[in-house]
Structure 1
């Protein structure tokens, strides 16, 4: 899912595995696209330890889906609905192909993949439309991340303990990202190489 800061010398994996839930150990094909880097097993394992392994009932949105691994992980763990958004046509077609392969083991929730601009989609959504939002846009586009976080703070259901997960480049400080979501608490945080990640938790007060 994640987009790298710059072209890396490390070879992109051809496949990545889903690490939990109904689709545990199923493999996703990864196509060769500039700046496409799947969120690593280590980060995903940490994230879903934070969230809990059972996401039953949650409405989830993967805004800049890329490989779709975060959205597929959520669906695998029982989310009521998962929408994956991807603007790039080749990446979108790979997402639909991977989902078709996974459907041999149906999940409980509804999984929908849309080829469209993630930010424009967010702008059209009603307040508190989702319970869990994954934000991982191309790292080189700082403004895109800022705008996506601003819209997500409205679209995500903070009053019911909703969560916004964000990956961002190591060149940006956690304080800078926190300032973009003043009404949310950074409940969990990690650093892994060029990537920082934070799980923002909605305040019930």
Structure 2
């Protein structure tokens, strides 16, 4: 499986456990809505009493979600919720403690990185903290994981291909990641645009196009823990 092979590629790096939580950096907090004080977390989303509740990975605390950034989380959740009405979410916002009945505080949500059907393994992804970008596509299936050490391209029936890369920033938040190896030109073009995975219906905040020589493939992606956008 792709996930198992990916773990081996990062096996020399230290692994972290517990809740995957990333505080915002002040260096890039100059957008229309300041990210100062915002925290990125992963956890479970569920509906309860007409409210959306977020519970961070590995914690008992529960936060009532207010969609302050108009992320559309309610619509995304309605299309994905399983029979247990629980989803996995990767998001960023302001967490404020309160004494409201039935919760430990409020989450003012501003950025939704991904929403997918609940998977017990999602909170324990050992690679997340080391990646700057994760992108995947279908028909044919492919996955690209990007870290500060390089990019890894995985495809069924082929050995994982680890490569150095060059990243180029483009207007409107778009960027490209490219590499050349074994007479192949590999280009990954990424844009900040809602994307629905055709295989599992998960919603991610980046759309992507992978070009390998003359072959063009499309997919969805999200920023890893090493990227603070």
Normalising to structure 1: TM-score of the pair? Answer: 0.31
Structure with bigger strand share is 2
Normalising to structure 2: TM-score of the pair? Answer: 0.29
Asked which structure has the greater RCO (Cα within 8 Å, sep 6+), the reply is 1
Structure with bigger helix share is 1
